[in-house]
């Protein structure tokens, strides 16, 4: 029911109560206070009083019925008409009394009209009463011999003027009261809306706060998202939920729960960002609401349709102004989300983004700490290893030198030559160790120098293999250069240092009597050199470590295979400085192949 209908109904009830309250006064006036009725007049007075009572009861009951709501203004006009007839009859009846104040009853009609219609009723009602005043004056003058004798116009003009002024005042007051009431009702309605909105936003804030606490409950990404999903189900029920991040042009599912979580876009799965909803989210940075996915707009929606999922909200994960992912909620029903839920998911997107950034920052810091701890352990191992590597050759050099000094005359020439050869080889070993340490320091400091020129890699391979074959005989080293190789732009000495390191390692880890093969060939715009041995190989988990500073695989750390863990680190640094790549492919007990790849374009 509208406020206007309620107001009109309340007005009609109030006027009906006034009619009923007037009945006792009319009874007292007709039965006790009035005497000497002209013949038949008392009967008319009682009949009019009865009509007043019937009108009061009838309009009161009518104001409470459903009929009133169908025509409230028409019923009000009918009530005013009936009251006008009743008042007019009373005025005419009591004109027989000398000096009767009965004309003042017209003020009741005036107030009723003003209450019903405001200033319009206050001005129109005196116009309607004017003929009644004239009729009453004529009735008094023609029917009764009441003073003053004769027709008195001032009995019409003066009351009419007073009625008009009173109607203007009462009508203006009623109109102003109605305006104030309307304004107050509007303000009350607005206050109720604001209260409801405040309550709704409080609920949203509470939901967001609980989800935020869940996200911050753990620095472990899996635990945090499990707690978040549990809280989210209580506030925004869903059939499927996913958190997707953009990584190097691909959409990576970070967390997923609900329908098809293990089958469609499961956790850790990746797909190209293009043609997905994530692509639009990344570009617009705005929440997207797909009310019905029956007609698929994005590539993943076809699979969602097969799972019976119809509606979807996706909110961006924002880092500053840039979106780096999205949170997506899906339901089976079309148009399954309301405005409040869309707003809440948008807010959750910002909270999830913050939590993801915090957890990822923590993971990065933890990884950095772990890496620093690992490097510290490697450095400690390196110091211990270098100490050992220095101690052994130094002991040999010192021991041989002391023996030569003390027993020079006792030793025959062959023995002297043997001690001198030992001193020479151990000295070279010390020099190589010191050179590796110095090279590593220069690489770290950025002062490792190169002299670039055209380098014939085919000749470099042959020379390196020939030189190594002269110094050892246990392992056969074979060079296989395919055709004439193009020259590359590089530092020949540094590249030979790389190749020598690879050959030394291959020989060191190859059993006696086996073969080390060096293949060199051109492949597209690159020259590739492969050094293959038949040793124990490099386990997959060690293939990254052996190229790091101080990194020595388990194989390299086995007894009888000394090393500092710097050779491959230096080799890789030299190759990368030439724009090349140094890689290893191997398997346990399957040998290892180190591949050096250099761009031909670097020579031009």
What is the domain partition of the chain in residue ranges? 3-189, 221-366, 396-445, 453-603
Q: Would you place residue 81 in the very low, low, confident or very high pLDDT band (cuts 50, 70, 90)? A: very high
pLDDT of residue 368: 81
Task: Look at residue 264 and tell me whether its pLDDT is greater than 60.
Answer: yes
Sequence-ordered list of residues with C-beta below 8 angstroms from that of 289, at least 6 positions apart, any chain: 311, 312, 313, 337, 342
Kind plus residue range of the DSSP H or E element containing 377? helix 339-407
Angle at 542 between CA 253 and CA 498, to 5 degrees: 115
What would the mean pLDDT of 533-539 be, rounded to a whole number? 84
What would the mean pLDDT of 497-520 be, rounded to a whole number? 86
Q: Is beta strand 515-523 parallel, antiparallel or unpaired with respect to 476-481?
A: parallel
Q: Would you place residue 602 in the very low, low, confident or very high pLDDT band (cuts 50, 70, 90)? A: very low
CATH of domain 221-366: 3.30.450.40
Number of H helices, E strands in the chain: 14, 13
pLDDT of residue 383: 61
Q: Are 167 and 125 in contact (CB under 8 A)?
A: yes
pLDDT of residue 542: 81
Under DSSP, the state recorded for 447 is -
- Environment class of 103 (CB within 10 Å of its CB; exposed 0-12, middle 13-18, buried 19+): buried
Under DSSP, the state recorded for 31 is I
Q: Which two tokens stand for residue 276?
A: 């997905």
pLDDT of residue 559: 44
Q: Residue 477's beta-bridge partner residues? A: 516
What would the mean pLDDT of 46-70 be, rounded to a whole number? 91
The rounded radius of gyration (Å) of the Cα atoms in the chain is 54
Lookup result for tokens 């492969």:
530
Higher pLDDT, 351 or 386: 351
Q: Could you write out the three-class secondary structure of 472-490?
A: CCCCEEEEEECCCCCCEEE
Sequence-ordered list of residues with C-beta below 8 angstroms from that of 468, at least 6 positions apart, any chain: 477, 500, 503, 504, 507
Task: Look at residue 478 and tell me whether its pLDDT is greater than 50.
Answer: yes
pLDDT of residue 330: 92
Cα 120 off chain centre by: 59
Query: What's the pLDDT tens digit per position in 311-349?
Result: 999 989 888 788 889 988 999 999 888 887 888 788 778
Q: Which two tokens stand for residue 382?
A: 């390196």
Cα-based distances in Å from 465 to 263, 316, 443, 477, 485: 55, 60, 27, 6, 17
Q: Would you place residue 560 in the very low, low, confident or very high pLDDT band (cuts 50, 70, 90)? A: very low
Task: Look at residue 557 and tell me whether its pLDDT is greater than 60.
Answer: no
Count other C-beta atoms under 10 Å from residue 544's C-beta: 11
pTM for the predicted model, two decimal places: 0.45
Q: Are 575 and 582 in contact (CB under 8 A)?
A: yes
Report whether CATH 3.30.565.10 matches the domain 453-603: yes
Task: Look at residue 66 and tell me whether its pLDDT is greater than 80.
Answer: yes
Query: What's the pLDDT tens digit per position in 120-179?
Result: 999 999 999 999 999 998 998 888 877 777 788 888 999 999 999 999 999 999 999 989
pLDDT of residue 80: 93
596: left (phi over 0), alpha (psi -120 to 50) or beta: beta
Higher pLDDT, 178 or 419: 178
Under DSSP, the state recorded for 338 is -
Mean of all residue pLDDT scores within the chain? 83
Count other C-beta atoms under 10 Å from residue 434's C-beta: 12
Cα 216 off chain centre by: 15
User: Coil, helix or strand for 564?
Assistant: coil
Q: Are 145 and 136 in contact (CB under 8 A)?
A: no
């Amino acid at each position: 029911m509208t406020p206007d209908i309620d107001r009109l109904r309340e007005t009609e009830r109030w006027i009906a109560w006034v009619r009923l309250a007037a009945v006792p006064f009319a009874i007292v006036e007709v039965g006790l206070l009035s005497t000497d009725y002209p013949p038949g007049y008392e009967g008319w007075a009682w009949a009019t009083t009865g009509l007043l009572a019937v009108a009061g009861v009838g309009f009161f009951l009518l104001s409470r019925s459903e009929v009133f709501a169908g025509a409230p203004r028409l019923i009000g006009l009918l009530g005013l008409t009936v009251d006008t007839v009743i008042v007019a009859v009373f005025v005419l009846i009591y004109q027989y009394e000398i000096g009767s104040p009965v004309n003042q009853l017209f003020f009741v009609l005036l107030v009723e009209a003003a209450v019903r219609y405001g200033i319009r009723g206050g001005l129109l009602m005196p116009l309607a009463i004017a003929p009644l005043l004239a009729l009453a004056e004529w009735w008094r003058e023609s029917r009764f011999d009441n003073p003053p004798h004769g027709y008195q116009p001032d009995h019409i003009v003066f009351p009419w003027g007073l009625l008009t002024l009173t109607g203007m005042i009462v009508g203006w007051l009623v109109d102003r009261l109605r305006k104030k009431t309307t304004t107050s009702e509007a303000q009350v309605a607005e206050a109720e809306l604001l209260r409801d909105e405040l309550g709704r936003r409080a609920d949203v804030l509470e939901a967001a706060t609980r989800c935020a606490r869940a996200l911050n409950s753990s620095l472990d990404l899996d635990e945090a998202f499990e707690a978040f999903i549990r809280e989210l189900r209580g506030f925004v029920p869903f059939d499927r939920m996913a958190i997707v991040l953009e990584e190097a042009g691909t959409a990576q599912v970070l967390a997923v729960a609900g329908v098809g979580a293990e089958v469609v876009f499961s956790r850790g799965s990746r797909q190209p960002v293009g043609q997905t909803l994530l692509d639009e989210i990344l570009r617009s940075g705005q929440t997207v609401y797909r009310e019905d996915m029956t007609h698929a707009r994005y590539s993943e929606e076809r699979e969602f349709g097969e799972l019976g999922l119809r509606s979807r909200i996706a909110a961006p994960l924002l880092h500053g102004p840039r979106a780096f992912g999205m949170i997506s909620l899906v339901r089976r029903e079309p148009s399954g989300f309301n405005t409040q839920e869309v707003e809440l998911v948008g807010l959750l997107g910002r909270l999830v983004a913050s939590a993801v950034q915090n957890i990822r920052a923590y993971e990065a810091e933890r990884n950095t700490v772990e890496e620093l701890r690992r490097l510290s352990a490697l450095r400690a191992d390196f110091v211990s290893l270098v100490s050992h590597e220095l101690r052994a050759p130094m002991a040999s050099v010192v021991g041989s030198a002391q023996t030569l000094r003390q027993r020079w005359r006792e030793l025959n020439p062959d023995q002297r030559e043997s001690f001198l050869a030992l001193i020479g080889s151990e000295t070279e070993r010390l020099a190589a160790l010191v050179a590796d340490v110095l090279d590593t320091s220069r690489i770290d400091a950025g002062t490792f120098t190169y002299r670039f020129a055209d380098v014939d890699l085919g000749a470099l391979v042959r020379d390196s293999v020939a030189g190594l074959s002269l110094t050892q005989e246990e392992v056969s080293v074979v060079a296989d250069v395919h055709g004439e190789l193009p020259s590359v732009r590089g530092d020949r000495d540094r590249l030979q240092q790389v190749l020598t390191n690879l050959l030394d390692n291959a020989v060191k880890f190859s059993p006696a009597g086996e073969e080390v093969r060096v293949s060199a060939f051109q492949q597209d715009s690159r020259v590739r050199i492969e050094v293959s041995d038949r040793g124990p190989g490099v386990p997959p988990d060690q293939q990254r470590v052996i190229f790091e500073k101080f990194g020595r695989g388990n194989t390299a750390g086995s007894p009888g295979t000394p090393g500092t863990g710097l050779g491959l680190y230096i080799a890789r640094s030299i190759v990368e400085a030439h724009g090349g790549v140094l890689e290893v492919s191997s398997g346990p007990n399957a040998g290892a192949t180190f591949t050096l790849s250099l761009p031909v374009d670097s020579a031009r």
